[in-house]
Structure 1
Amino acid sequence: MCGIIAFADKTMLNKKPVLNNMMEMIKHRGPNSSGEYINDTVALGFRRLSIIDLKGGSQPILNEDGSVAIIFNGEIYNYQSIREDLLAAGHIFTTHSDTEVLLHGYEEYGMEGLLKKIRGMFAFLIWDDNKQLLTGARDFFGIKPMYYYQDGDTFLVGSEIKAFLQHPKFKKELNKEALKPYLTFQYSALDETFFKNVYRVPEGHYFTLKDGDLEIKKYWDMDFKANQLSLSETIDAIDKSIADSVESHRISEVEVGSLLSSGVDSSYVTALLRPEHTFSIGFDNNKYHEGDAAKALADRLGLENKSDIVTEKEALNNFPLIQYHLDEPDSNPSCIPLYFLTKLAHQDVTVILSGEGADELFAGYANYGDHTHSKAVRVFADGLRQLPKGIKYRIAHGLKKMPNFHGRLHLYESTAPAEEFFIGEAYVFNEEQSADILKPDYQKSATVQEIVTESYKKVRSYDDEVKKMQYLDIHQFMPKDILLKADKLSMANSMELRVPFLDKEVAKVAEGVPTKYLINSHSSKYALREAANRHLPEEWANRTKLGFPVPIKQWLEDEPFYQEVRSLFEQDWVSEFFDQDAILDILDKTFRQESDDRRKVWTIYTFLVWYKVFFRDEEIPTFVEDTDKVTA
C-alpha cells in the first residue's frame, strides 16, 4: 500500500525538487521509503508502506532494459500465478513483488489484456519510454483513488489531490459547481472534484497520455443478469466466493487484522479470517457502543478484540484533520469513527480487512425496499414485486398519492421505478432547500436528476428496480463516499485497508443473484446473511444494521459545540457561499430541538471546515490529544 504521484511537463527542466515536495504531501501513505523516476518528459514519485516483498519491493521498478517504469498503489491477489506465466514467457524478474508482475504483464499482454487477468485493488502508473506514453489504471470498483489535472503542457496524476498543491503550475481554485450537489449527496458527486479542473479517473477505467492527448477508456463494469440457481445453490456460491476472497486477501508479509462492528459484513469477514487482532470503536456519550457487540462476537469466536472510546472533544478537535485527509468535504458521520478505528488498529497491525461493498453487491440498504419489520407488509410487497411492470408502476403512483400509513413507503419502493425516487443512499438537502441557502454563484450546477441519470441510462434495459439502484450506488455512493473515506482515513494512519467483498470473482456471483434472494419477506441481503450464518453464532447475521452510530445530535445540542459551530457560520467569508441568516436559523432550531436538522447542519459545517483547511488556513492540521480522556 503506497502513495503515487506523477507529472508530465517537457518545459520543466528541474523536476526533482517539485516531485519531492509533492511526495512529502502523501508521506502518510508510505512512511517506509520513497523512490523516483525522472526524465525530460515525466516525473514519477512513490511513497511506500511495506506489505509484500519487504526487502525487494521498492519502487519505481523498471523492466529488463530500463525502457518501462511503474509505480503502484494497492495489492494484486493473484499475482503469483501470473508471475509463473510471465517467467515461462521469458521475462526476467528482480523482485518477488506484485508490482513487477504488473510491469511485465503490461509488456506481455498490453494494458487491456493485463487488466482482464488481475484480481485486486489498484491504482498504477506506467511510463513507456519506447512509446513516449504515460498510462495508468484504477481498479474495478474504485477502491484505490486516482486523480488527474491537465492545463496546457502540464498533466498531474496521483493518489491524493493535496500533492498537486505543491506543483508550481497547479492553479488552486474552488469548483463552484460542486457545492450544490454536495448538499444533497453529502459527498463530492460530480466527476470534477471540488478543485477546479481536477477529475477522478473513474472506477474500472484506464487512461493514456501521449503528446498531451488524454484518452480515458472503460475496461470493466457490473452487469446484473439473474441466474437460475436455487436458493441453496446461491448461498453455496456466495459463501465459496467470499471465503476464497478472504483467503486471497490474507496475502501479506506483515500481520493482518480486521475491523469488527455489530453488523453482518465485518462479522462474516472476521469469522472467515480468524485474525489474532480485531478492533472496534464507540463514543463517550452514545447509548450504543459498537465495541460491546464486537467484543461479544470476538469472545464467542475466541479472538482478541481491542476497542476504544472516542470523546466528543477529540472527535471535534480533529475534524479539520479528518477533512484534510479526505481531500474533499464528506459529511458522512462515519468518517470520524473510521479515522479513530484505523488509528487504534495501527498500534498492532499494518493491514486490516473490512466489510465495505457488501451492501451494494448484495442489496443491504433499507432504501432498496426494506422499510418495515411487519411480516404481513413484507409478504404483500414480495407479491407486488412479481407483477408486470406497468401494473406495478400504476400501484406505485396510487400509493404516492395516498395519506401515509404503516408500510406505505415499503410498498411504494417495492413497486415504483427506481428513477422516480432513488438518487442513492445519502439524501440531505433537496434542491429547493439548497437553493434557499446558497448564493446565486453556487446554484449553477448539474441537477441531482442529471447526475443520477448518467448511471440509469446504462441500465435502462433492466426490468429489476433493485438492480438499477445497486448499479447507481456502485458508481456514485460507493466510490465517491464509502471507498474514498475507507482509503483516505486508513492511509491517514499509514494502514492498508482491504475489502474482500469487492473482489471481481465475488462480483461475478453477485451479478447473478436474483433479487428475490436478496430483498424478501425475511430481510435485506438475505442470501448473504444465510451464507454468513454458517460461520457465525446462531442468528448473529440477522442483527439489525446500525452502521457507525455517531452522536451528532447530542453534540449539536451541547452548548460549547453549538457555539463553536455558530461562530464558524457567522464568519464574514461564509457569506460568499450561504445566506447566513438561513443557515443560522437551521442551526439554532436544531440546538433548541425545535427541529431535527442535524444532517443539514453537519453537512454545511463539514464544507466550511474543509474550505477553511484548504483555502484559508496556512497550516496543515495536526492531531490534537484529549488530555482529559480517561484511558482504560
Structure 2
Amino acid sequence: MCGIVGFVNAKDNKSAIIEDMMSTIVHRGPNSSGEFCDDQVALGFRRLSIVDLSGGSQPIFNEDDSKVIIFNGEIYNYKELREDLIAKGHTFKTTADTEVILHGYEEYGVDIVKQLRGMFAFAIWDRNTQELFGARDHFGIKPYYYAEMNGTFMFGSEIKSFLKHPDFNKELNKEALKPYMTFQYSALEETFFKDVYRIPEGHYYTYKNGQLTIEKYWDAEFTEDKMSFEEAVDLIEEAVSESVEAHKTGEVNIGAFLSSGVDSSYVAAVLRPENTYSIGFGDESYNESHEAKRLSDKLGLNNTSKVVTGEEAFDYFPLIQYHLDEPDSNPSCVPLYFLAEMAVKTSTICFSGEGADELFAGYQNYGFNTRSKPVRVLAEQLKKLPKSARYSIARSIKKAPDFKGSMHLYTSLAPAEDFFIGQAEVFKNNDADEFLTADYQNSVSTKEIVDRQYKKVKDLSEVKKMQYLDLHQWMPKDILLKADKLSMAHSLELRVPLLDVRMMELAQRIPTKHLLNAENTKYAFRKAANRHLPDEWADREKLGFPVPIKDWLRTEKFYQQVREIFSQDFVSEFFDQAKIIELLDDNYNEKNDERRKIWTIFTFLTWYKIYFIDGEKPTVA
C-alpha cells in the first residue's frame, strides 16, 4: 500500500516539485520513496512495504527501461499473472505485484486492467511514445484524482499533494456544496476543488499530446439467474472463503476490524487473525466493542478495543477532515480514525467488512422499513404483481394518510427512482436553499445526480437498481474513500475481501428474492455467515459505527465549540448565519433534533477553514 503523485509538462524544476508533492502524502508510505523525472514527466512514490519487502521499491522499469510505473494497491492474482508473463518471455527484476502490471501492459496493452484482481491506482509512462496510461480499480477502493491547469496535467492519490504544485489554482467548486448538504459527501465527479476530478471506478485513462481520454473497462451487470436458495448460500460461503484466502498476500502482520455486525464478524471468523480491533464510545448504546469482545472470545481471537471520548473526537476532528481531502459528514469517520490508529500498533494490514451491503442487499433502505412481519409478508406478495400494478399501488399509498407499515409497503412497491438516493439524505434538495446563500444554491439537482446511474439499469428489479446506485455513489465517494484515507492516515493498509471482482461475479447473479425478503436483508449472505458464527450474530441489525453526536451537540462544551465556528465571519459567505445558529441553539435546547444537519454544516466549515483559511495541516495539542 502506497501513495502516488505525478505530473506531465515541458517545464523545468520537476524534481523539486515532485518531492514537495510527495512530502504531503508521507503517511501513505513511510518506509521509502522514489521518483522519476525526464523532460516531460515527473513520477513520485511513497511506499508502505507489504510484498517483496527488500526489492519492491518504485518506480519500476521494464526490461529496456522504455516504460516506468508507479502503483498504489494490491493485486491478489499477481502470482498467476507473473507465471503467465514469464512464460511469454518477460523478465522480472522483483517479486512485487507492481511489476506484473507493467509487463502485463507490455503484453496486453490497456486490456491488462481486465485481468487484474485487486485494488489499484497506477500510472505507466511510455518514454518512447510519450504517453501516460493509468487506471483505477473496479470499485474505486483506491482513490485517484487528476487536474489540468496552466499547461500541466497532474494526478495522484490525494488532492492535498496538488496544492504543492506551482501550476495548481486552489479554488472552491461552488457547485459541490449544495449536493453535499444532501448526500453528506462530495457527490459530483468534480471535487470540492474547482477543476479537480476523480478517475471513475472501473475506468482507465490515457494522456498524450495534451489530450486526456477516459474509458470504462468494467461495470456491474446484474441479472436474475435461476438458482435455489440453498445453492445461493453454498456459493456465497465458498466465495467468501476463497476471497479471504486470496486477500492474505504479504509478508507482514494481518489483523481485522471487528464490530457487532455480521460483515466484519464473518470476515474475522474465516480469517482467524491474531488480532482483532474494536471501537466504541462511553454510552452502552454507542459501544459496539462489548459485543465484539464477546464474539472474539467465542471464536478464540484476541481483541483490543478503545473507548473514544468526546474531547478526543473534537480535538482530532480537524485532522480527520484534513486527511479526507474533501468534507465528509459521515459520523463514522471519527471512530474509524481512532480504530486505525489503534490497529497499526500491532498490524500493518487489517481486513474489514465493507462491500457486503452493496453486493448482497444489506441496507434496510432497500425495503426493510418495518419490524412487523405480517406487513413484510404482504409486501413480498404484492411484489409479484406486474410492474404497472405495483407502481399504481405505491402512488396510492404515497397519497394516503400514514398507517402502520405504509413506508415499508411504499418502498417495496414504488420505482426506486422515486424515493431512493442512497444511504444518506441529510437536507432535502430544496431545504438546503433555506440555509445557503444565493451563490451556493445553483448546482445539479439530487435527481439529476442519481438519474445518471438509474438510466443505465432501468430494467432491473428495484432492489438491484438501488444496489447499482450505491455501487457508483455511496460506496466510492463515501464508504471506500473514508476507509482508505483514514486508514492510510496511520500508514495502515485496509483490505476489503467482501468487495472483490470475483465476489461481484457471483453477487450480481443471485436472484433478488434470495437477497431481501420478509425475513431479513442480505438473507442468503447471513445464512452463509451463520455457518461460521453464533446464531445471534448472523441476524444482527447493522449499526455502522454508532456515534453519539446527539449527546455531543447537547453538551455545553461541544455545543459552544460548534457555535464558535458557526459565528465566524467567513461563514456568511456560504450560509444564512442567523438561521444555522438558530438551528444549533434549538437543537441544544431540545426544541428540535437536527443533529445530522448541524454536523454536516459543521463538517464543511471545519474542512473549509483548514484548506482555505488556515492553509496548513492541523495539529493536536
TM range (shorter): over 0.9
Partner of residue 146, structure 1: 144
Structure 2 distance, partners of 1:210, 1:399, is 55
Aligned counterpart in structure 2 of residue 513 of structure 1, from 501, 510, 517: 510
1:461 CA displacement: 2.5
Please give the per-residue CA displacement for 1:531-568, whole angstroms capped at 9, x wherever unaligned.
Answer: 00011112321012111110000000001111111111
Q: In 2, are the aligned partners of 1:350 and 1:496 still within 8 Å (CA)? A: yes
Partner of residue 621, structure 1: 618
Partner of residue 271, structure 1: 269
SS in 1 for 2:605: helix
Please give the per-residue CA displacement for 1:412-439, whole angstroms capped at 9, x wherever unaligned.
Answer: 0000000111111110001221000101
Partner of residue 606, structure 1: 603
SS in 1 for 2:484: helix
Partner of residue 172, structure 2: 174
Structure 2 distance, partners of 1:233, 1:623, is 53
Partner of residue 373, structure 2: 375
Structure 1 distance, partners of 2:527, 2:215, is 38
Q: In 2, are the aligned partners of 1:36 and 1:43 still within 8 Å (CA)? A: yes
Q: In 2, are the aligned partners of 1:76 and 1:118 still within 8 Å (CA)? A: yes
Matches within 5 A, 1:543-622: 543-622=540-619
Asked whether 1:242 is paired with 2:240, we answer yes
Structure 2 distance, partners of 1:595, 1:206, is 47
Asked whether 1:534 is paired with 2:540, we answer no
Aligned counterpart in structure 2 of residue 192 of structure 1, from 184, 190, 193: 190
Where does structure 1 lack aligned partners over 5 or more consecutive residues?
625-632
Q: In 1, are the aligned partners of 2:150 and 2:168 still within 8 Å (CA)? A: no
Structure 1 distance, partners of 2:239, 2:285, is 36
SS in 2 for 1:478: helix
Structure 2 distance, partners of 1:315, 1:512, is 42
Partner of residue 206, structure 2: 208
SS in 2 for 1:360: helix
Structure 1 distance, partners of 2:4, 2:615, is 25
Matches within 5 A, 1:204-603: 204-285=202-283, 287-462=285-460, 464-603=461-600
State the one-letter code of the partner of 1:362. F
Asked whether 1:70 is paired with 2:56, we answer no
1:261 CA displacement: 0.2
TM-score using structure 2 length: 0.99
Partner of residue 84, structure 2: 85
Matches within 5 A, 1:17-56: 17-56=16-55
Partner of residue 630, structure 1: none
1:51 CA displacement: 0.3
Structure 2 distance, partners of 1:618, 1:408, is 50
Partner of residue 2, structure 1: 2
SS in 1 for 2:455: helix
SS in 2 for 1:344: helix
1:253 CA displacement: 0.3
1:502 CA displacement: 1.0
Partner of residue 629, structure 1: none
1:396 CA displacement: 0.2
Q: In 1, are the aligned partners of 2:286 and 2:547 still within 8 Å (CA)? A: no
1:286 CA displacement: 5.2
Structure 2 distance, partners of 1:33, 1:161, is 21
Structure 2 distance, partners of 1:249, 1:538, is 26
State the one-letter code of the partner of 1:6. G
Structure 2 distance, partners of 1:547, 1:452, is 23
Partner of residue 14, structure 1: 13
Please give the per-residue CA displacement for 1:554-606, whole angstroms capped at 9, x wherever unaligned.
Answer: 00000111111111111111000000011111111110111110000000000
Structure 2 distance, partners of 1:569, 1:182, is 18
Runs of 4+ off more than 6 Å: none
Please give the per-residue CA displacement for 1:274-303, whole angstroms capped at 9, x wherever unaligned.
Answer: 000000001124533111010000000000
1:129 CA displacement: 1.1
Where does structure 2 lack aligned partners over 5 or more consecutive residues?
none
Q: In 1, are the aligned partners of 2:150 and 2:167 still within 8 Å (CA)? A: no
SS in 1 for 2:153: strand
Structure 2 distance, partners of 1:602, 1:498, is 29
SS in 1 for 2:466: helix
SS in 1 for 2:73: strand
Structure 2 distance, partners of 1:362, 1:40, is 49
Q: In 1, are the aligned partners of 2:121 and 2:135 still within 8 Å (CA)? A: yes
Structure 1 distance, partners of 2:563, 2:535, is 48
Structure 1 distance, partners of 2:443, 2:377, is 42
Please give the per-residue CA displacement for 1:340-359, whole angstroms capped at 9, x wherever unaligned.
Answer: 00000011000000001111
SS in 1 for 2:346: coil
Q: In 2, are the aligned partners of 1:26 and 1:47 still within 8 Å (CA)? A: yes
Please give the per-residue CA displacement for 1:203-262, whole angstroms capped at 9, x wherever unaligned.
Answer: 000110000000000000001001101000011111111111000111110010000000
1:456 CA displacement: 0.6
Moved more, 157-166 or 509-518: 509-518
Matches within 5 A, 1:105-124: 105-112=104-111, 114-124=112-122
Q: In 2, are the aligned partners of 1:286 and 1:550 still within 8 Å (CA)? A: no
Q: In 1, are the aligned partners of 2:76 and 2:247 still within 8 Å (CA)? A: yes
Please give the per-residue CA displacement for 1:478-533, whole angstroms capped at 9, x wherever unaligned.
Answer: 00000000000000010000000111110010001111111111100100000000
SS in 1 for 2:430: helix
SS in 1 for 2:286: coil
Structure 2 distance, partners of 1:57, 1:119, is 19
1:153 CA displacement: 1.6
TM-score using structure 1 length: 0.98
Q: In 2, are the aligned partners of 1:285 and 1:312 still within 8 Å (CA)? A: no
Structure 2 distance, partners of 1:529, 1:539, is 11
1:38 CA displacement: 0.5
Identical-pair percentage:
62
SS in 2 for 1:431: coil
Partner of residue 96, structure 1: 95
Structure 1 distance, partners of 2:288, 2:97, is 36
SS in 2 for 1:206: strand
Q: In 1, are the aligned partners of 2:267 and 2:353 still within 8 Å (CA)? A: yes
Structure 2 distance, partners of 1:623, 1:26, is 18
Please give the per-residue CA displacement for 1:75-102, whole angstroms capped at 9, x wherever unaligned.
Answer: 0000000100111111110100000001
Q: In 2, are the aligned partners of 1:206 and 1:218 still within 8 Å (CA)? A: yes
SS in 2 for 1:4: strand
Structure 1 distance, partners of 2:266, 2:615, is 44
Please give the per-residue CA displacement for 1:83-126, whole angstroms capped at 9, x wherever unaligned.
Answer: 001111111101000000011000011112x1111100000110
Please give the per-residue CA displacement for 1:47-82, whole angstroms capped at 9, x wherever unaligned.
Answer: 000000000000000001100000000000000001
1:152 CA displacement: 4.1
